[in-house]
Amino acid sequence: MDQVARLNQWMMTQGRCSGDPVKVVSHFCLSLRAAGVPLWRVNIGQRFANPLLVAWGIVWTPEGTDIYDVTHERMLTDGYVGSSFEYILKHRKPLHKSLRGLDPETDHLSYLEFAELGGSDFYATLLYFGDESLHGCTFVTQDADGFSEQDLAMIEASLPALSCALEPVTMRKSSKSLLRTYLGDGPSDAVWNGTIKRGERSTVEAVVLFSDLRGFTALSEAADEDEIFGTLNDYFDLVVTAVEDQGGDVLKFIGDGVLSIFLVETEAERSRQCRRAARASQEILTGLAALNTRRQYAMKPALNLGIGLNVGPVSYGNIGSPGRLDFTVLGRTVNLASRIEDLTKAIGCRVLATTAVAEACPDLFLGCGPYEIRGLADPIELFSLVDPLQAG
């Protein structure tokens, strides 16, 4: 047990301060192996609060260490239902199970897979965090004799220190994950680092992509709430996926509108970011066509949208009251993107861009002519995006 005491001391000092879950779990497993515990595979799962993810974890084997995420949908599949993780969290007690003589008809798939790979014995138990949340971990051995009572005692004796080392990592990961879910990559990093406080702003150059769903008011009046929310989620999903695939950040949902940006950090990046925003717009149109095909089969009305693209300086930061902040971008560049999006229906083009965007990737745009814009003294040239479904 002296080795376990040394392991616990490391976990509560160096491990807790390292902030590196891979280092912590690797040290934990290798130390137990050195103490005689015949570990072959270890899975440390940690739950956290997130609307998209329910947990994350680390799988260790002598060959390497992998980090994984668990979605809420995963919890409804056979991968979780009936598993050891479900058992220990439901019954709040450990599970020790031999992997010999399993029944393919009744035993969970995970046990069968471990046995097929040479596993002989399995142990699942709980981690307790300071906020009273419960988390799970599993241990598999290939040793012919399985886990001894001494092996399990050493594992249990080291778990409080492992919890001490991993809890701050999980709390940081949970907070960062929530920020990223609601703010996107760039803004969440800025808020996390404390570089943007209330009233503080920075002026940056960005390509602004403003997307708006057409006819949503009429849809809202004709459909029930489940249909409305389902439609919005489908629409937001295709916009967010396209923007993020091209390296942009979705900043906010405004009713049925989406405000996204592609930061331009250097002059050399300007053309590339304009092209990425244009490509994202094309991906949105392609995704919308696929979504409308599914809606047609479901006897639902087709959706349409408008997109405005502009590039220029924007003010980037937090606004609001001392107790409630909102992260956003403001400025003429944003206003113009919104106003030209509003013209898409009248002009008959689903994606319109300013000259500055179109000149950066002329192969993707066609001239529409000058148009008067609300708030501007003189008309400006607008350009329509080449529709990927009609090109060629």
Q: Are strands 304-321 and 351-354 parallel, antiparallel or unpaired?
A: parallel
pLDDT-derived band at 256 (thresholds 50, 70, 90) equals confident
pLDDT-derived band at 314 (thresholds 50, 70, 90) equals confident
pLDDT confidence of residue 319: 61
Residues 6+ apart with CB under 8 A from 267: none
pLDDT confidence of residue 197: 56
Rounded-to-integer distance, Cα 378 and Cα 374, Å: 10
pLDDT confidence of residue 191: 61
pLDDT-derived band at 188 (thresholds 50, 70, 90) equals low
pLDDT confidence of residue 392: 46
Comparing 52-66, 260-274, 309-323, the range with the smallest average pLDDT is 309-323
Closest CA to 101 of 85, 120, 79: 120
pLDDT at residue 231 tops 80: yes
Q: Is 26 exposed, middle or buried (0-12, 13-18, 19+ CB in 10 A)?
A: middle
Q: How far is CA 95 from CA 122, 158, 281, 330, in A?
A: 8, 17, 51, 55
Rounded-to-integer distance, Cα 390 and Cα 392, Å: 6
Average pLDDT, stretch 300-320? 84
What are the structural domains, with CATH classification, of the chain? Answer: 2-182 (3.30.450.40), 185-385 (3.30.70.1230)
CB 280 within 8 A of CB 246: yes
pLDDT-derived band at 301 (thresholds 50, 70, 90) equals confident
Rounded-to-integer distance, Cα 135 and Cα 56, Å: 10
pLDDT in tens, 193-212: 565 555 555 678 889 999 99
Would you say the pTM of this structure is higher than 0.75? no
pLDDT at residue 182 tops 80: no
Going along the chain, which residue ranges are E strands? 41-47, 53-61, 64-71, 95-98, 121-128, 134-141, 201-214, 249-254, 257-264, 304-321, 324-330, 351-354, 365-371, 380-385
pLDDT confidence of residue 68: 85
Q: Which amino acid is at 157?
A: A
Average pLDDT, stretch 132-145? 92
Residue percentage of the chain with pLDDT more than 70: 85
Angle among Cα 279, 283, 289 to the nearest 5 degrees reads 150
CB 365 within 8 A of CB 277: no
5 strand-pairing partners:
none
Tokens 């693209």 sit on residue: 309
| Tokens encoding 213 | 């769903």
pLDDT confidence of residue 348: 86
Sign (positive/negative) of CA torsion 110, 81, 65, 8?
negative
pLDDT in tens, 32-80: 999 999 999 999 988 876 666 778 889 999 999 998 888 767 665 667 7
